[in-house]
Chain A
């Protein structure tokens, strides 16, 4: 049934494969590196996603860092409290993070499909990175969300959904791993630490253009008028480089944002759902 060529080539490849497998197997036992058993144990607890949100290249390197005391036991972002506690138990350490606060990816653009003002036509690949790299897309605003959803595709937890040309982040699913932050070519998404009891408020704009230029390019952009600094909770809003930014560590649960949201002339200070509210609407 088989010609001699088939048999010869099959046995040649099998022979070579076996030879190299044996060689590598031998090398593996000879060159085996004794790992610290603690590192292996920590690595077993870690989720093994290699997402890099902790600042280390992967879970193995983080496990090493934790075992050597370089990194705190709650470094793993997607693992959350559970992983942090397990590691702390193993090492006999205390988890230092404050309860009642959560990290979350926050999208700093509020221009949906209707608000995005466009010039000309973009016929390229439907990807934010490509659009930004080639022509900057066809949007008038150089800072706003391009809307092709690179962040949604990059999210390992399916926490981002593109709704009306803007990423919508599911606060329950988001682990603040930072993949979207890394992916977004315009740096619109930022990881912020929010107070679970307080209001979830953000400045939905990323434009560093001057007020008049923003007016021309977008209806819902921050014109850096500075009203929010005056009417908002003390020390929370600050306008720098033609853009209002919030300092999330400066307010607690009783801060009142009604005035700021109400008075913002372009309406770019907006509420967004906290995990509790998000699960209620479902």
Chain B
């Protein structure tokens, strides 16, 4: 039950994008098309899950064991950057189509603050291994959910006659804000 709550919390009530406002740049940048948004979401989910698993091990067996927890930022960034590289190589080899579609977004996952945020939250909340893995996967699912919803809304907005001052960036930010408000409706789903 505990694990289920962790998952629901990170997907709905404490969604990285809509609750913590982390990873806003891909959220606004890649959400103009459904296909790109979904691909980005899946790639990020993969990186997040692996990041959670690997950083938990590094944190527990290396950093804590040697009493050098202050290295968490540096070592976590190292893990994330290496993972993204690995994912890139893997996709290039086995899924060249997806690799072409994602293009520049793929290396940009490295600088997605939601991924680093995930690793740091995990340490802060003192999750155990299984909890961390669920947390990482859930964070990715939540990120994908936010991106896909946003892409859907923006797809509809393209057809609408928006007042001139609100066009472009303004309406996108307004929608993002409203979406965050809507997600507040989920609070209370998970007992704190």
| Residue pair B63, A12 in contact (C-beta under 8 Å) | yes
> Which DSSP category, helix, strand, loop or mixed, fits chain B's interface?
helix
Collect the chain A residues with CB atoms within 8 Å of residue B104's CB: 57
Closest residue on chain B to residue A20 by CB atoms: B82
| B89 x A8 contact (CB < 8 A) | no
Q: When the two chains form the complex, which single residue of A9, A17, A28 contacts B78, counting CB atoms closer than 8 Å?
A: A17
Min CB–CB distance B47 → chain A (angstroms): 14
* B168 contact set on A, CB distance < 8 A: 133
B182 neighbours in A (Cβ, 8 Å)? none
Q: What's the tally of chain B residues with a CB closer than 8 Å to chain A? A: 24
Give min CB distance, B114 to chain A, whole Å: 21
Among residues of A, the one whose C-beta sits closest to the C-beta of B103 is A57
B70, B78, B92: the one within 8 Å of A31 (CB): B92
The reply to whether B68 and A31 form a contact with Cβ atoms under 8 Å apart is: no
- The count of residues in chain A whose C-beta lies closer than 8 Å to any C-beta of chain B is 17
Inter-chain contact B71/A133, CB cutoff 8 Å: no
- Total contacts A to B, CB within 8 angstroms? 49
In the complex, which residue of chain A has the Cβ closest to the Cβ of B58?
A: A16
Q: Does residue B173 face the partner (Cβ distance < 8 Å to A)?
A: no
Q: Which residues of B contact A12 (CB under 8 A)?
A: 62-63, 66, 68, 71, 75
Of the residues A5, A9, A17, A24, contact of B85 by C-beta under 8 Å: A24
Min Cβ gap B166→A in Å is 12
Asked if A13 contacts B75 (CB within 8 A), the reply is yes
B78:A5 contact, CB within 8 angstroms: no
Q: Are A31 and B90 in contact (CB under 8 A)?
A: yes
Pair B93/A31 contact, Cβ less than 8 Å = yes
Minimal beta-carbon separation of B95 from chain A (angstroms): 12
Cβ contacts under 8 Å, B103 to chain A = 57
For the complex formed, measure the closest distance between the CB of A77 and the CB atoms of chain B, giving whole angstroms. Answer: 21
Q: Does A119 contact B (CB under 8 A)?
A: no
State which of A13, A20, A32 has its C-beta within 8 Å of the C-beta of B79. A20
A33 close to chain B: CB less than 8 A? yes
B74 and A24 form a contact (CB under 8 A): no
Given contacts A16-B58, A24-B85, 18 further A-B contacts (CB under 8 A): A5-B67, A5-B68, A8-B66, A9-B68, A12-B66, A12-B71, A12-B75, A13-B74, A13-B78, A16-B78, A24-B86, A24-B89, A31-B90, A31-B93, A33-B92, A33-B96, A133-B168, A133-B169
Chain B interface (Cβ < 8 Å from any Cβ of A) = 58, 62-63, 66-68, 70-71, 74-75, 78-79, 82, 85-86, 89-90, 92-93, 96, 103-104, 168-169
CB pairs A–B below 8 angstroms (11 shown):
A5-B67, A9-B70, A12-B66, A12-B68, A20-B78, A20-B82, A23-B82, A31-B90, A33-B92, A57-B103, A133-B169
